[in-house]
Amino acid sequence: MKARITVLPGDGIGVEVTTAAVDVLQKVASRYGHEFEFNEALIGGIAIDKTGTALPDETLRQAEQSDAILLGAVGGYKWDNPSAPVRPEQGLLKIRKHFGLFANLRPVKTYPALAQYSPLRLDLLDGVDMLFVRELTGGIYFGSRQEQGDGDSAYDTELYTVPEVERIAHIAFRAAQGRRKKVSSVDKANVLASMRLWRKTVTKVHEDYADVQLDHVLVDSCAMHLITRPASFDVLVASNMFGDILSDEASVFAGSLGMLPSASLGAERIGLYEPVHGSAPDIAGQGKANPTGAILSAAMLLRYSLSLEAEAKAVEAAVEGVLDGGARTADISARGSSYLSTSEFAQAVKDKI
């Protein structure tokens, strides 16, 4: 297979982890007889510095000619000003909207070799393997907003339409069919009108998936149950804000935020793949970044945009294999013990493929 992949390293450790992910993808191409072409482009803070915008037109043009997009992270201390007219995160929101990437998939699982690094009791972590399906282009993040007067009041509108909820619900139910056939729909239907529409619509879509169990869970209860019985969840489908918050909460199950990948998908084949973590400017350039989230995001790229399931599984198995073998990066190593650099960990994964 021939494929063109746009690489957006972004800021901070984004450069290091995308380099690691590209190295692994190159090994996959060599091992399985594929031809992957990688082209870098600007996004985030570095794009602001060089072009004055967080997402240059040239980046969009290049991405439009690609089969998939691999992203590192955006932002950092240098651009940490919420009131600035141009901010790094604007690039991320714009590229999602440009490609209609309405579904964010965030798998979270506990690796037995890393269970000790989670703050939860070991018995609670047994069997934790869940998938968050987060609606990505609607809800309060994209609703109308206004700050009144001299900043004495402000509002942000939570808005969802039936078609928006229908399409994300279909993604969740289809995902569950390939897993343990259980969907937990997260809402706040006892208080919010938008969430009553959410629950009604998800219930209607469920009629097309008789083989999948559906539970409705209030967001506050879900936050509690994630900590008290995380292994009971399979697929969770949630609004933009609820999915954002809950998936970050669940990151503790993996032992480190650096472990988690994500895929942002739409109606077309192209997708955007990125680790869940941020740019971590405090460790940028030191070789301390954990590339696992980026490498597993590359595995999702292989699965969802290139339809290379065997290759995706090979990458995931290689990651699990090196972790079982004792390979550790700085964030998942015991205090005072030695650890692998970002590139060394990536090399260990490549050697396992």
Q: How far apart are CA 313 and CA 178, in angstroms?
A: 14
Strands 263-265 and 182-187: unpaired
Query: Does 148 score more than 80 pLDDT?
Result: no
DSSP 46: H
- Do residue 74 and residue 22 come from a single domain? yes
DSSP assignment of 244-307 = HHHHHHHGGGGTSGGG---EEE-SSS-EEE--SS---TTTTTTT----HHHHHHHHHHHHHTS-
- Give a yes or no: residue 315 inside a domain: yes
Q: What is the pLDDT of residues 159-176, one digit of tens each?
A: 999 999 999 999 999 999
Hey, what are 153's tokens? Answer: 């009041």
Looking at per-residue pLDDT, the higher value among 148 and 267 belongs to 267
Q: What is the pLDDT of residues 324-337, one digit of tens each?
A: 999 999 999 887 78
- Taking alpha carbons only, the member of 142, 114, 95, 118 closest to residue 270 is 95
Q: How far apart are CA 139 and CA 119, in angstroms?
A: 31
- Give a yes or no: residue 134 inside a domain: yes
pLDDT at position 152 is: 79
Residue with tokens 């992949």: 5
- Do residue 183 and residue 264 come from a single domain? no
pLDDT at position 82 is: 82
- Do residue 189 and residue 245 come from a single domain? yes
Q: How does the average pLDDT of the chain come out, rounded?
A: 95
- Do residue 54 and residue 74 come from a single domain? yes
pLDDT at position 170 is: 97
Residue 202 CB burial class (10 angstroms; 0-12, 13-18, ≥19): buried
Q: What is the pTM (predicted TM-score) of this model?
A: 0.92
pLDDT at position 145 is: 78
Instruction: Kindly report the CATH number assigned to the domain that includes residue 136.
Output: 3.40.718.10
- Taking alpha carbons only, the member of 349, 346, 337, 130 closest to residue 252 is 130
- Give a yes or no: residue 217 inside a domain: yes
**Cβ atoms of 105 and 247 closer than 8 Å:** no
Query: Does 300 score more than 90 pLDDT?
Result: yes
Query: Strand, coil or helix: what is 134?
Result: strand
Query: Strand, coil or helix: what is 32?
Result: helix
Range of the domain at 24: 1-106+255-353
The pLDDT of 274-300, averaged and rounded, is 97
Query: Does 151 score more than 80 pLDDT?
Result: no
Q: What is the pLDDT of residues 203-240, one digit of tens each?
A: 999 999 999 999 999 999 999 999 999 999 999 999 99
- Do residue 338 and residue 292 come from a single domain? yes
> What's the pLDDT band for 342 if we cut at 50, 70, 90?
very high
pLDDT at position 336 is: 76
pLDDT at position 146 is: 78
pLDDT at position 5 is: 98
pLDDT at position 100 is: 93
- Do residue 275 and residue 245 come from a single domain? no
- Do residue 230 and residue 125 come from a single domain? yes
- Do residue 85 and residue 14 come from a single domain? yes
- Give a yes or no: residue 112 inside a domain: no
User: How many Cα atoms are found within 13 Å in the side-chain-facing hemisphere of 343?
Assistant: 6
Hey, what are 20's tokens? Answer: 């690691």
pLDDT at position 95 is: 95
- Give a yes or no: residue 114 inside a domain: no
DSSP 135: E
pLDDT at position 13 is: 98
- Do residue 83 and residue 32 come from a single domain? yes
- Give a yes or no: residue 113 inside a domain: no
Q: Which helix (H) or strand (E) holds 203?
A: helix 193-206
- Taking alpha carbons only, the member of 226, 284, 265, 283 closest to residue 108 is 226
pLDDT at position 48 is: 98
Query: Does 284 score more than 70 pLDDT?
Result: yes
- Give a yes or no: residue 226 inside a domain: yes
**Cβ atoms of 336 and 283 closer than 8 Å:** no
DSSP 19: H
Share of the chain above pLDDT 90, in %: 86
C-alpha 229: how far from its chain's center? 22
- Taking alpha carbons only, the member of 32, 39, 29 closest to residue 5 is 39
- Give a yes or no: residue 111 inside a domain: no
The pLDDT of 15-25, averaged and rounded, is 98
The pLDDT of 5-18, averaged and rounded, is 98
The pLDDT of 13-34, averaged and rounded, is 98
- Do residue 146 and residue 248 come from a single domain? yes
- The C-alpha angle with vertex 21 and arms to 20 and 26, in degrees rounded to 5, equals 100
pLDDT at position 21 is: 98
Query: Does 131 score more than 70 pLDDT?
Result: yes
Final residue of a domain: which of 210, 234, 253? 253
Q: What is the pLDDT of residues 32-51, one digit of tens each?
A: 999 999 999 999 999 999 99
Q: Residue 79: what residue type? A: W
pLDDT at position 149 is: 54
- Do residue 82 and residue 138 come from a single domain? no
Task: Give the number of domains in the chain.
Answer: 2
Give the residue numbers annotated as catalytic, written as ranges: 141, 188, 220, 244, 248
- Do residue 46 and residue 6 come from a single domain? yes
Final residue of a domain: which of 224, 253, 282? 253
Final residue of a domain: which of 233, 253, 273? 253
pLDDT at position 150 is: 65
